[in-house]
Amino acid sequence: MPDEIERKFMLDKLPDWLQDCSSTPIEQGYLAIDEEVEVRLRRIGERRLLTAKRGHGEVREEVEVGLGEHQFDALWPLTDSQRLRKTRYLVPLDGLKAEVDVFEGELEGLVTAEVEFDSAAQSRDFQPPPWLGDEVTGDSRYANQSLALHGVATD
């Protein structure tokens, strides 16, 4: 399984310029979630994906496969109580990109960003700009599967 190396941040507010960035609506639902593994479905425009992830925090294993429309439609009802909707904005960031997710529905008002890296060293060296807000990498309350199951964390 290839590794996914990313850091996650919680934005205090939407940057004024965010609407100028390209965006895509995303629906995702979870088929299975346990302490180590998650299996999710994701609809991104016309693309339909099945993704399995293992691990927590900054470095995780991830495998993603494309699904046909009928395959996706057969599995989607199984995610009924474990879904979320968001719009993802792609923000260029010093040779990297931030994926800023603006959540909808019950999660409206929540804005997170993830920055993916090619190596753990690149991740360690990254200095986030102030607009990214507080880092929540590894905080399970802000993991998408937790948000789909439990909603926004209250401190």
Task: Supply the residues annotated as catalytic.
Answer: 30
SS in 3 state form for the chain?
Answer: CCEEEEEEEECCCCCHHHHHCCEEEEEEEEEEECCCEEEEEEEECCEEEEEEEECCCCEEEEEEEECCHHHHHHHHHHHCCCEEEEEEEEEEECCEEEEEEEECHHHCCCEEEEEEECCHHHHHHCCCCHHHCEECCCCHHHCHHHHHHHCCCCC
